Amino acid sequence: MKIILRSIIAIYRKELQGYFSSSLAYVIAGVFWFLSSLFFFFILDNIVREVAQLDLQGQFGVSPPPVDVPSVVLQNFMAVMGSLSLVILPILSMGLYAEERKRGTLELLATSPITNWAVALGKLLAVLTFFVTLIMPLAVIEGLALSRGQPPIPLVTLLSLLMVSHLGLVFMAAAILALGLFISSLTDSSILAAIVTFALILLLWIVDLLGDTLGGGLGEMLNHLSLLKHYTTLTQGVLDLSSFVLFLSYVVLGLFLTAQSIDLFRFQRS
């Protein structure tokens, strides 16, 4: 057990160190932070205008509907974050195994006293840590901005709202990254892995649309598989355990398939 843990940590540390020495990681972080802050600004600006307009209507005697500004802002912003992640996560996961395969280092991992799934888990934890690092500063910005609202919302409410929605984002990211990990383990071309991963998660993102169209038992099943639906539930601050379970199932599936594909690949390789 201790040995397994040690090898997972070895992989984890090596991968994290890799991000610091890779220009790709910095570029992704830069682009992600730039775009998301830009969107945050637009969303805030938008809601300020909207509220001002409602105020104006109020002055003319029409009583405006109440607007829960913090949760509207948060929901809109989390939706943007979700969409951005959709693009960024495949880029993060594309090289995880494809590069090892291309460089021949997979042969080192596969001949070390360490199981396939430990390698996969170490890699997943590392890339997830990198993603959490990406979204942490944004969570702080959101918290700061929303805590300035009038009337002020209680700190506990705000924190739990932020917590649940960001946990949702992290879990969804873990699900996507695990699937990306698997796809990366199938090929030695990073670009190909990124494209296929993107296509797959896009499908899982909107699979509930397909479910709605089909209807019936199958439709309902597809509905449950949708990433977007469960993600949206969580960003609304609803602590829905079934959503976490779904995301975790994707993670387990991804890790399992990765470990299997590494084995299978060795069997067939000439």
CB neighbour burial string for 103-128, b if at least 16 within 10 angstroms, e if fewer: eeebeebeeeebebbbbbbbbbbbbb
Determine phi and psi for 239, rounding to 5 degrees: -80, 85
18 Cβ contact partners less than 8 Å away, ≥ 6 residues apart: 25
Considering only the stretches 89-97, 110-118, 156-164, 185-193, report the one whose residues sit in contact with other proteins under the rule CB under 8 A.
110-118
Among 45, 46, 53, 103, binds other proteins (CB under 8 A): 103
Q: Does 3 bind other proteins (CB under 8 A)?
A: yes
Residues 239-268 interacting with other proteins (rule: CB under 8 A): 266-268
Considering only the stretches 17-25, 65-73, 86-94, 217-225, report the one whose residues sit in contact with other proteins under the rule CB under 8 A.
17-25
Q: Does 83 bind other proteins (CB under 8 A)?
A: no
- 8 A C-beta contact, residue 131 and residue 89: yes
What is the closest distance, in whole angstroms, from the C-beta atom of residue 103 to other proteins in the complex?
Answer: 7
Residue type, 130: F
Q: Does 13 bind other proteins (CB under 8 A)?
A: yes
Among 10, 69, 139, 202, binds other proteins (CB under 8 A): 10
Q: Dihedral sign, CA of 115, 13, 176, 244?
A: positive
- Residue 170 carries which DSSP code? H
Considering only the stretches 16-24, 75-83, 134-142, 160-168, report the one whose residues sit in contact with other proteins under the rule CB under 8 A.
16-24
- 8 A C-beta contact, residue 7 and residue 118: yes
Q: Does 11 bind other proteins (CB under 8 A)?
A: yes
Neighbours of 219 (CB within 10 A): 14
Q: Does 213 bind other proteins (CB under 8 A)?
A: no
Q: Which of 127, 152, 139 is nearest to 37 (CA)?
A: 139
Q: Which of 93, 86, 270 is nearest to 178 (CA)?
A: 93
Residues 22-61 interacting with other proteins (rule: CB under 8 A): 22
End-to-end CA separation in angstroms for the chain: 33
The count of chain residues that interact with other proteins, using the rule CB under 8 A, is 29
What is the closest distance, in whole angstroms, from the C-beta atom of residue 179 to other proteins in the complex?
Answer: 25
Among 37, 83, 112, 249, binds other proteins (CB under 8 A): 112
- 8 A C-beta contact, residue 91 and residue 141: no
Among 5, 27, 56, 108, binds other proteins (CB under 8 A): 108
Among 57, 83, 105, 242, binds other proteins (CB under 8 A): 105
What is the closest distance, in whole angstroms, from the C-beta atom of residue 193 to other proteins in the complex?
Answer: 18
Which residue lies nearer to other proteins by CB, 13 or 49?
13
Which residues lie near other proteins (CB under 8 A)?
3, 6-7, 9-11, 13-14, 17-18, 21-22, 103-114, 266-270
